[in-house]
């Protein structure tokens, strides 16, 4: 199920699904340690002997954020229970504190008692074994722990001017062992068992009791979960919330994000609608929520995808990260991008290339890219575009911020080493980049997209070398980039078909095998400057791509490539060559922007931006891809790259508008 609402601060990330269940709790690295296993942690309410979890279908839900913040704004109403809940959820912008604020309105005409229940399904360090959860009487709170991860759960109730701090009741117990479902079942009669401690495969539930809520009246409750490496850390954070007041943390965090997302003093959004501008700002906030404090930009943090692949998207792919960093740089956010480039500098191999993906703690991520080919011969398990795009994006960053001291520290260790690798990793037959995996990580060969990115990476390296007075290096990198460009025109353009090839493969006898499938990644030709958008060969290529890959249903949108089987919904390729992707649709928008010579031509990009806006969840979150017949999100949500590509497209549109107007 998509993650409708992520809230986080670079160390603690909490995801809700579209039914408003807490699903994922990551700490102390975003995307690395999942302490709930992606399972549901329920929230429920009891009144007048009746009970409902918040995922009960009878709830009428409006799931959104407070405008321009990473604070949720969720409105729930239950006709049978005669209750309305206004909920605000956040992670404090500085401390590892997950805070939930609920205003409960009694819609009945009589006085009633209301009880709130907050359940957590613990998999500390992504492992259900050897967990402990217990009631701490001095704090009147629950604490779950294992190794160096401690989570303290507490709350308060405000009624008629009186504040009551501490949980009203609790349950600790076993789940998924000898038939036990978990303590959430204990909550459904409104009474918790108060077992003081549980060990092993555990979960926990706490209650906040609100007596004597008058008919038509409202009551205010706060629940918080704090994370730390030991007992004293979580106890101190609990004390901080109590003493400063949870409402202070809520308001300061809302204020922080409003200022963060509005850092441009006089933003110019051309003639874009307020709704498109709002999605731009929401995308900035969503992207920021997916960045670890150590510099890793995570592709996505949706625990449900593990059911599909027994793995996740919670890794730093250098390609995704570089393109996200590029969007942030253009939007004026230098600090997260600097941290990202430092990360890349730290993990770059001695050979000057980056591997497929990394964990936020800089260790290698899991991989399916082999170190030998089908005949047992050694090969690099890389996508060379990942190395190239880091250097390309770093130059874009420098052009935006002119932080010479920052890039100087990376010149030898990152830029030169990566550029030397790109120069040397060449196919001797064609002069193009040596075979590597494609950006979709599904096939190996010499790709037009990879060639375009390596060209851009070498041009960027030449610019850096010129900046630092390294004339020999500048000439070398610039010359090799142009040689590669000429080779692309010679070997990757197919005159017979009238479009660029997705890839070629050099056979053992030196002959070339052509892959003529149309792929949206051919947009890399103009995106990274290998050829201008108005080059006739680019025009013919993108026209062919649009004809072949536009999804011919009411949903529309661009597929990745012909006969894309990833999460494939239909085999009728005449209707849907693949599922529509936000990224690919936005690439088409960027082509229309780059090609525009008048405002009327520029406005041809607006329907594609509107298409993306229409595909957002109610919270403003964008998935990786959509169902071609229903428009429902498929695969992971949110996908960081989708939001970054939207940011970049808006920036490109506004820049083109200023020039044309």
Average pLDDT score, the chain:
96
Going by the DSSP 8-state scheme, the letter that residue 366 receives in this structure is P
For the chain, the residue count is 661
pLDDT over threshold 70, residue 563: yes
Q: Say which DSSP state 617 is in.
A: -
Q: How many CA atoms lie within 13 A of 117 on its CB side?
A: 28
Task: Give pLDDT tens digits for 168-219.
Answer: 999 999 998 777 789 999 999 999 999 999 999 999 999 999 998 999 999 9
Is the pLDDT confidence value at 309 over 90?
no
**Three-state SS across 224-287?**
EEEEECCHHHHHHHHHHHHHHCHHHHHHHHHHHHHHHHCCCCCCCCCCCCHHHHHHHHHHHHHH
In what order do the strands lie in the sheet containing 436-437? 436-437, 444-447, 503-506, 512-515
pLDDT band at 264 (very low <50, low <70, confident <90, very high): confident
What is the per-residue pLDDT across 165-174, written as a single tens digit (0 to 9) for each?
A: 999 999 999 9
- Whole-number pLDDT of residue 212: 87
What pLDDT shows up at residue 266?
Answer: 67
CA dist 222 and 220 (Å) reads 7
pLDDT tens sequence across 292-304: 999 999 999 976 6
For 541, phi then psi, to 5°, come to -65, -50
**65 three-state secondary structure:** strand
Cα–Cα distance, 58 to 43 (Å, whole number): 15
Neighbours of 285 (CB within 10 A): 19
- Domain ranges in the chain are 5-261, 278-366+378-660
Confidence check: pLDDT of 306 > 70: no
Environment class of 511 (CB within 10 Å of its CB; exposed 0-12, middle 13-18, buried 19+) = exposed
What is the rounded radius of gyration, in angstroms, for the C-alpha atoms of the chain?
A: 27
pLDDT band for position 1 (50/70/90)? Answer: low
pLDDT the model gives residue 381: 97
The string of pLDDT tens digits covering residues 102-142 is 999 999 999 999 999 999 999 999 999 999 999 999 999 99
d(CA 642, CA 299): 10
Instruction: Assign domain 5-261 to its CATH architecture.
Output: Distorted Sandwich (2.70)
Q: Fold match between 5-261 and 278-366+378-660?
A: no
Q: What is the mean pLDDT of residues 482-497?
A: 98
Structure tokens at 229: 């490496």
The answer to whether the beta carbons of residues 528 and 522 sit under 8 Å apart is no
Structural domain 278-366+378-660, CATH architecture: Alpha/alpha barrel (1.50)
Pull the structure tokens for residue 466.
Answer: 């010129």
Residue 660 Cα distances to 562, 594, 656, angstroms:
35, 11, 6
Per-residue confidence (pLDDT) for residue 304, from 0 to 100:
66
Q: Nearest to residue 614, comparing CAs of 561, 540, 556?
A: 556
The pLDDT tens digits for 435-474 are: 999 999 999 999 999 999 999 999 999 999 999 999 999 9
> Residue 45: what pLDDT?
98
Nearest to 561 by CA among 457, 443, 644, 428: 443
Over residues 464-489, mean pLDDT: 98
Question: What are 355's two structure tokens?
Answer: 């591997």
| pTM confidence score | 0.96
Residue 2 has pLDDT above 80, yes or no: no
Q: Are 157 and 218 in contact (CB under 8 A)?
A: no
How far from each other are the two terminal CA atoms of the chain, in whole angstroms? 44
| pLDDT surpasses 60 at 308 | no
Q: What is the pLDDT of residues 619-636, one digit of tens each?
A: 999 999 999 999 999 989
For residue 579, CA distances in Å to 560, 620, 628 come to 8, 20, 6
3-state secondary structure (DSSP) of residue 306: helix
Q: Which residues contact 511 (CB under 8 A, 6 or more apart)?
A: none
What is Dmax (Cα atoms) for the chain? Answer: 87
Identify the DSSP state of 334. Answer: H
CA 268/CA 146 separation, integer angstroms: 50
Is the pLDDT reported for residue 305 higher than 70? no
For the chain, percent of residues with pLDDT exceeding 90: 94
CA-closest candidate to residue 418, choices 369, 371, 350: 350
Strand partners, 226: 97, 152
């Amino acid at each position: 199920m998509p993650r409708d609402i992520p809230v986080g601060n670079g160390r603690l990330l909490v995801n809700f699904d579209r039914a408003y269940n807490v699903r994922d709790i990551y700490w102390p690295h975003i995307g690395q340690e999942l302490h709930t296993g992606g399972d549901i942690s329920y929230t429920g309410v009891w009144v007048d002997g009746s009970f409902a979890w918040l995922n009960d279908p009878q709830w009428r839900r409006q799931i959104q954020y407070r405008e321009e913040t990473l604070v949720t704004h969720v409105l729930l109403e239950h006709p049978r229970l005669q209750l309305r809940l206004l909920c605000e959820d956040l992670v404090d912008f500085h401390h590892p504190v997950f805070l939930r604020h609920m205003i409960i309105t009694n819609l009945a005409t009589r006085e009633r008692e209301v009880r709130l229940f907050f359940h957590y399904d613990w998999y500390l360090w992504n492992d259900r074994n050897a967990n402990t959860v217990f009631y701490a009487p001095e704090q009147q709170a629950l604490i779950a722990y294992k190794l160096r991860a401690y989570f303290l759960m507490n709350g308060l109730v405000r009624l008629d001017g009186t504040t009551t701090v501490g949980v009203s009741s609790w349950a600790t117990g076993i789940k998924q062992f000898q038939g036990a479902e978990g303590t959430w079942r204990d909550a459904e009669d409104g009474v918790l068992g108060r077992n003081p401690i549980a060990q092993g495969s555990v979960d926990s539930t706490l209650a906040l009791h609100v007596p004597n809520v008058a008919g038509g009246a409202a009551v205010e409750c706060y629940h918080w979960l704090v994370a730390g490496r030991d007992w004293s850390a979580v106890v101190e954070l609990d004390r901080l919330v109590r003493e400063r007041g949870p409402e202070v943390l809520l308001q300061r965090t809302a204020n922080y994000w409003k200022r963060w997302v509005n850092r441009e003093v006089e933003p110019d959004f051309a003639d874009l609608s307020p709704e498109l501008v709002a999605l731009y700002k929401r995308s900035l906030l969503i992207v920021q929520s997916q960045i670890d404090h150590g510099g890793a930009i995570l592709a996505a943090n949706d625990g449900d995808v593990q059911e599909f692949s027994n793995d996740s998207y919670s890794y730093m792919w250098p390609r995704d990260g570089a393109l996200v960093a590029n969007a942030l740089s253009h939007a004026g956010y230098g600090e997260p991008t600097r941290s990202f480039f430092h990360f890349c500098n730290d993990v770059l191999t001695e050979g000057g290339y980056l591997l497929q993906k990394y964990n936020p703690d800089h260790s290698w991520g899991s991989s399916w890219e082999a170190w030998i080919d089908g005949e047992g011969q050694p090969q690099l398990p890389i996508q060379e575009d990942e190395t190239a795009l880091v250097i390309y994006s770093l130059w874009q960053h420098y052009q935006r911020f002119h932080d010479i001291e920052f890039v100087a520290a990376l010149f030898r260790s990152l830029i030169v080493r990566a550029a030397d690798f790109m120069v040397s990793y060449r196919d001797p037959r064609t002069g193009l980049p040596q075979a590597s995996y494609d950006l979709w990580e599904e096939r190996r060969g010499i790709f037009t997209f990879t060639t375009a990115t390596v060209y851009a990476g070498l041009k960027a390296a030449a610019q850096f070398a010129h900046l630092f007075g390294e004339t020999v290096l500048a000439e070398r990198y610039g010359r090799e980039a142009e040689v590669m460009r000429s080779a692309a025109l010679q070997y990757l353009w197919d005159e017979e078909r009238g479009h660029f090839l997705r890839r070629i493969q050099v056979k053992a006898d030196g002959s070339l095998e052509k892959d003529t499938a149309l792929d949206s990644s051919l947009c890399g030709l103009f995106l990274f400057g290998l050829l201008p958008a108005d080059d006739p060969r680019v025009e013919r290529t993108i026209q062919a791509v649009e004809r072949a890959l536009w999804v011919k249903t009411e949903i529309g949108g661009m597929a990745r490539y012909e006969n894309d089987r990833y999460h494939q919904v239909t085999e009728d390729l005449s209707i849907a060559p693949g599922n529509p992707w936000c990224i690919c649709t936005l690439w088409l928008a960027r082509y229309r922007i780059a090609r525009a010579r008048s405002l009327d031509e520029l406005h041809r990009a607006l329907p594609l931006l509107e298409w993306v806006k229409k595909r957002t969840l109610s919270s403003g979150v964008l998935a990786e891809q959509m169902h071609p017949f229903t428009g429902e999100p498929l695969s992971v949500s949110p996908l960081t790259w989708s939001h970054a590509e939207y940011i970049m497209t808006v920036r490109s549109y506004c820049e083109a508008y200023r020039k044309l107007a």
